[in-house]
Amino acid sequence: MLRMQDISKIYRTDLIETHALRELSLEVKAGEFVSVSGPSGSGKSTFLNIAGLLETFDTGLYELDGREVSGLSDDARSRIRNEKIGFIFQGFNLIPDLDLFDNIDVPLRYRRMKADERRKRIESALELVGLASRTKHLPSQLSGGQQQRVAIARAIAGDPALILADEPTGNLDSLMARQIMDLLEKINAMGTTIVLVTHDPELARRAQRNIHIVDGVVIDSPPYQSRFTQFPPRTTAGAAAE
């Protein structure tokens, strides 16, 4: 489903170069449920953003669903995001002045889908996350856990092959977090590949496999049981050092 080889990503500001990813290589097979953990600043979000085509990378190869994506145009990347990938964000990212129905409708509209097809998908997605009766509610009228479930409904409505979730439970209490995890497992069971970035060792353990990223590279043995030290990201004062 997803194969990265020697992916490097450097963030450059006026004074500082940050090596967020250093020749990172990993593979996620179709149908897998993979968790990604690691210390803060280690590059987990960077990895996920690159995987989801939200950001570009500097060097390396990235094959998504059998297709090399590095040379693709902005439009083509948008289309892949729209058709193949479902995003779940830590902050839910629902559009505040659209009701639940219209929120879930957003990616389907960008796919230029017919109205009745969209309606069918929205209703069954809301059904799946248990919010079928709330289509006309605004996000602000829901709890955080409910909002995240709407976001999940939005992510799956387009029937993506891959779901990318960056700390989806980061803003939720542990009960709601477990409910979200249940939901993700259910979706995975229906065949969707899931990559989940999480700090929570309990949730990470529930995935089929855990990938550990430290300082921009994948560490082989996942030490999530132990208390690892926090690696600060290595930054080189590029221009300033000269």
Partner 1 sequence: MKTARTQVNLMNVPIRPLFSSLRRNPTGAVLVALQVAITLAVMINAAWIVAQRLEKLERPTGIDTRDTFEIGIVGSSRKFNVAQAESEDLAYLRGLPGVAAATVVNGILLTENGGDTDLSRDPGTNGPVVGANFLTVDDQALNTLDVPLIAGRNFRADEIRPLTKGKQTPPSEVIVTQSLARTLFPHGSALGRIIYNGDSNPLTVIGITRDFMGPQVGAPAYNTVLLPTMPGQAGLYALLVRTRPGMRDTVMREAKQHIGTAHRFGITGFSTPLAKAERQMHAGDRNTAILLTTVTALMLAVCCLGVFGLTTFNVGSRRRQIGTRRALGASKRDIVAHFMMEGALILSGGAFLGSILALVVGNWLTVHYALPRLDLVYLLGGVLALWIVGLLAAWQPARRAADVPPSVATRTV
Ligand X SMILES: Nc1ncnc2c1ncn2[C@@H]1O[C@H](COP(=O)(O)OP(=O)(O)OP(=O)(O)O)[C@@H](O)[C@H]1O
Tokens of 210: 């855990």
Least gap, CB of 152 to ligand X (angstroms): 20
Residues 6+ apart with CB under 8 A from 86: 154, 155, 156, 158, 160, 162, 163, 164, 192
Which residues pair with residue 38 across a beta bridge?
Answer: none
Q: For partner 1, give the closer residue by CB, 87 or 224.
A: 87
Take residue 98 and report the two structure tokens written for it. 């659209």
Out of 46, 147, 198, 210, name the contact with ligand X by CB under 6 A: 46
Please report, as residue ranges, which positions from 25 to 64 form the binding site for partner 1 (by CB under 8 A): 45, 48-49, 52-55
Q: Residue 26 has which token pair?
A: 């990993």
User: Helices in 60-143 by DSSP H: which ranges?
Assistant: 74-84, 100-110, 115-129
Q: How many CB atoms lie within 10 A of CB 114?
A: 9
By CB neighbour count within 10 A (0-12 exposed, 13-18 middle, 19+ buried), where does 220 fall?
exposed
Residue span 146-185 as binding mask against partner 1, x where in contact by CB under 8 A, dash where not: --------x---x-------x-------------------
- Which of 5, 6, 89, 132: binder of partner 1 (CB under 8 A)? 89
Instruction: Confirm or reject binding of residue 81 to partner 1 (CB under 8 A).
Output: yes
Cα–Cα nearest to 193, from 66, 60, 45? 66
Q: Which stretch binds Mg ion (CB under 5 A): 6-14, 45-53, 201-209, 227-235?
A: 45-53
> 51 vs 17, 48, 181, 207, 214, CA distance in Å?
21, 5, 21, 18, 17
Residue 169 interacts with ligand X (CB under 6 A): yes or no = no
Residue 45 makes contact with Mg ion by CB under 5 A: yes
Q: Which does 109 bind (CB under 5 to 8 A by kind): Mg ion, partner 1, ligand X, none?
A: partner 1
State which of positions 19-38 bind ligand X (CB under 6 A).
20, 38
- Among residues 18 and 45, whose Cβ is nearest to Mg ion? 45
Nearer to ligand X, 42 or 146 (CB): 42
Q: Is 191 left (phi over 0), alpha (psi -120 to 50) or beta?
A: left
Residues within the interface to ligand X (CB under 6 A):
11, 13, 18, 20, 38, 40-46, 233
Residues within the interface to partner 1 (CB under 8 A):
45, 48-49, 52-55, 74-75, 78-79, 81-83, 87, 89-91, 93, 95, 97-99, 102, 105-107, 109-112, 138, 154, 158, 166
